[in-house]
Structure formats: structure tokens, C-alpha cells
Amino acid sequence: MAAPSVSRRLMLGLPLAVVATGGIGFYALLERMRSGSYNPQDFNNPLVGHPAPEFTLPGADGHQGFDRAALAVQKRPVLVNFFASWCVPCAGEAPFLDKLAQSGLDLWGIAYQDKPEALALYLAKYGNPYRRVASDRSGRVAINWGVYGVPESFLIAPGGMVRWHVAGPLVPEVIQRQLMPALRRLA
């Protein structure tokens, strides 16, 4: 039997080449999932990689309020945490926020559609990890930030750029896998 032509060999090697390319792509995707820079189930906030939107909020529970400019002038990264006293997962993430604050990360809270009394009770009960707490009674600022639901957190780099975001509670897995690498990238 005559030896098969080169073109036939190449043609029949094509499936392998295609699959190998796809496989490398899948591998890259999985690696990015592991490092936390890609989450297919996540609704990525379009703010990531952009400056935080313009806003000014009054303080709550005796704290100083803040605005975009206050965030932008910080020398260290700030984790802005949208929360609410009526939100069950927020109470769930509270101990982990405390640990984060103890480790030296600046946490600024925005209470979303919350009443002052309920907020005070909540902070007294679950601890207050925040440097500043602002109140977003109308929820308008949350809309501008594209908040999907509380709790939701944004990592703001010095200068006011949003560098990382998570919709949902900051559980240890998210902190280890996503927040810490994001902080290291900023350092």
C-alpha cells in the first residue's frame, strides 16, 4: 500500500490540534477560576477597572460619612462593603469582616436602605469592623454602583479605582482565593 500523502496526514491530525488548543483554553479558564479572576456564576460588576462613581453620603451611627473624593485620597486600599441590618448573610459575614479589620484592612461600610435604630442595634450585636459607616437610605448610590444585592463589596485602590468586586458574603474561601490575591496585586 502506498504511503498516505502528507496532506492527508495533516488533515487527520487536525482534530488533535483543535482539541489541544481547546484544552489549553479550558486549562487557562480553570486556572483563572482558581485564582479568583474568573467566576462564570458571577455577575461581574462593570465598575471593576473603572473609577468609583460620584457620590456623597451622610454618616450613620455616629460615624463620619464619605464621598468619592474621600475614597480617592486614601493612601491604602479600602474595602467598601454594602450591608444592611435586615440582611441575614450580612450577619453571617460579620465575623470575617472583623478578622479582616483586625488584619489591618480599611473597611468602609455603606448601610443600604436601613433605619438608624436598627443599624445601631445591628452594629452593637455583630460588632463594628468599619472605619466609616455611611447611610444610603434611598438606595440610589447602590444603584449607581450597580449593587446586585447586599452584602456586596468593592475593593478601591488609592486614587479611587475599583479593582475587585464580589456580590455575596465575604466568606473565608472568597477572602483567601480572591480578596487576598487582589490585595497582593495592589501592593
- Site for other proteins contains 148 (CB under 8 A): no
- How far apart are alpha carbons 20 and 43 in whole angstroms? 29
- How far apart are alpha carbons 94 and 138 in whole angstroms? 23
Please work out, in degrees rounded to the nearest 5, the angle formed at the alpha carbon of residue 78 by the alpha carbons of 76 and 79: 150
Give me the least distance between CB of 80 and other proteins, in Å please: 22
- Site for other proteins contains 172 (CB under 8 A): no
- How far apart are alpha carbons 60 and 136 in whole angstroms? 9
Task: Answer left, alpha or beta for residue 75, where phi above 0 means left and psi between -120 and 50 means alpha.
Answer: alpha
Identify which of residues 49 and 58 has a Cβ nearer to other proteins in the complex.
49
Identify which of residues 39 and 74 has a Cβ nearer to other proteins in the complex.
39
Give me the least distance between CB of 15 and other proteins, in Å please: 5
Identify which of residues 30 and 73 has a Cβ nearer to other proteins in the complex.
30
- Site for other proteins contains 118 (CB under 8 A): no
Phi, psi of 166 (to 5 degrees): -140, 135
Name residues contacting other proteins, limited to 31-90 (CB under 8 A): 31-34, 38-41, 44
167, containing H or E segment: strand 162-167
Site string for other proteins, 2-21 (x = CB under 8 A): --x---xx--xx-xx--xx-
- Site for other proteins contains 102 (CB under 8 A): no
Q: Kindly list the distances between the CA atom of residue 8 and the CA atoms of 5, 16, 19, 67, in Å, as whole numbers in the listed order.
A: 5, 14, 18, 67
Q: How many residues bind other proteins (CB under 8 A)?
A: 27
The residue ranges that bind other proteins (CB under 8 A) are 1, 4, 8-9, 12-13, 15-16, 19-20, 22-23, 25-34, 38-41, 44
